[in-house]
Amino acid sequence: MNNSTHLDSIQKEAERFLREDPGNLMGSLVREENKEENSDDELIWATPLLGVARGDDPIFLEFRDRVDARHWTPAEAFAAGGYDPAPAEELSVVSWILPHTPVTKRDNARQREWPSERWARSRIFGEAENNRLRDHMVEFLKASGHGVVAPMRLKGWTQMPSDRYVFVSNWSERHIAHACGLGTFGLCDGLITPVGKAVRIGSVVLRARLDPTPRPYTRYDEYCPFKTRGKCGACIKRCPAGALSERGHDKRLCSAYLDDATAPYVAENFKFTGYGCGLCQTSVPCTSGIPKIQ
Ligand code: SF4
Ligand code: SF4
């Protein structure tokens, strides 16, 4: 099996899983006005986009400076899964982008203060499905004979306080996707990918040498015209919490809004335990692609 065939088979399996797994169904949208358009087979995630980085790519050591000294390299993540240490060059990282569907993006684009129900469901039940996809890809690749871990599913995965970034994790899915050629960071900290910024992200590390996906950028924030040329800034106006400004993303304000304001809103209006916002990811030039702002 050659390497490109292998990524192709991983892509096909991820697509099959998301098409057939009942966990990728949106579920009942409880409000009467949504009933006509919500079918029982409405999917949460659209077709995933995948990319690969080599385990010995120097960018993973750069993350020690750019993110946090405690951020795992692929070799550390692999060993944290209980495997014997593997040479970094024998490992590959596969990252996937799960795009919100057009109807979910449309619903949230109409919102000014609160998340739409589809968005909140995708944030909670969709991330649960992302976890099932992580677990499934581990089983699928193990069955193909590979040692493999989904770092975010390991006991050692953790979020930590950070002097520079308020909080960080030791495996940042957005940074991993950036390493895998899938996008660059926007003003609001989201990853702008070829299918936009309204996405969730996942990854696995496996013992196999796959062809890396080219990174068609040299800057970590190349796709955001505000970061490169001071143009756009649409996400600043979208934020109901005042958490975005020309200086970037205030994680404390954002997190307080999610926990203290949107959680009660979701419980009262949508009748489930959760939270969500994503207003900065919708109705902006980078929602569904790389912005074309001159
Ligand atoms: S909305 Fe504009 S400024 Fe904000 S991240 Fe997207 S491209 Fe950058
Ligand atoms: S998720 Fe909501 S609160 Fe947080 S930065 Fe985006 S718009 Fe603001």
Token pair in block for residue 241: 């919490």
pLDDT at site 95: 98
Q: Who has greater pLDDT, 289 or 4?
A: 289
φ, ψ for residue 85, nearest 5 deg: -55, 140
Collapse the DSSP code of 239 into the 3-class scheme (helix H, G, I; strand E, B; otherwise coil) and give the result.
Answer: coil
Contact 93, 203 (CB under 8 A): yes
Pairing of strands 184-185, 199-207: unpaired
Mean pLDDT of the chain: 94
- Alpha-carbon span 60 to 72, nearest angstrom: 8
Contact 74, 93 (CB under 8 A): yes
Give yes or no for residue 1 having a pLDDT over 50: no
> Tens digit of pLDDT for each residue in 150-184?
999 999 999 999 988 889 999 999 999 999 999 99
* CA-closest candidate to residue 163, choices 70, 273, 24, 232: 70
- Identify which of 174, 217, 222, 235 to mutate to test ligand 1's pocket (most ligand atoms within 8 A of the CB): 235
- Going by alpha carbons, the residue nearest to atom 7 of ligand 1 is 224
Ligand nearest to the CA of 119: 2
pLDDT category at 290 given cuts 50, 70, 90 is very high
pLDDT at site 27: 80
> Tens digit of pLDDT for each residue in 102-154?
999 999 999 999 999 999 999 999 999 999 999 999 999 999 999 999 999 99
The structural domains of the chain, with segments of one domain joined by +, span 3-281
- Alpha-carbon span 79 to 293, nearest angstrom: 43
Within 6 Å (CB) of ligand 2, which residues are found? 188, 238-239, 241, 243-244, 249, 254, 257, 277-280
Ligand nearest to the CA of 249: 2
Ligand 1 atom at minimum distance from 234 CA: 1
Within 6 Å (CB) of ligand 1, which residues are found? 186-188, 224-226, 232-235, 284-286, 291
DSSP letter (8 states) at residue 293: -
pLDDT at site 29: 62
Token pair in block for residue 77: 């993540």
> Tens digit of pLDDT for each residue in 54-94?
999 999 999 999 889 999 999 999 999 999 999 999 999 99
pLDDT at site 25: 92
pLDDT category at 35 given cuts 50, 70, 90 is low
Instruction: Give the whole-number percent of the chain exceeding pLDDT 90.
Output: 88
Give yes or no for residue 2 having a pLDDT over 60: no
Give yes or no for residue 3 having a pLDDT over 50: no
Ligand 2 atom at minimum distance from 258 CA: 3
Residue 85 burial (CB count, 10 A):
9
Kindly report the pTM of this predicted structure: 0.95
For tokens 């970037």, what's the residue? Answer: 248
> Tens digit of pLDDT for each residue in 247-288?
999 999 999 999 999 999 999 999 999 999 999 999 999 999
- Alpha-carbon span 23 to 18, nearest angstrom: 8
- Alpha-carbon span 184 to 193, nearest angstrom: 7
Collapse the DSSP code of 25 into the 3-class scheme (helix H, G, I; strand E, B; otherwise coil) and give the result.
Answer: strand
Contact 57, 169 (CB under 8 A): no
- Alpha-carbon span 209 to 285, nearest angstrom: 36
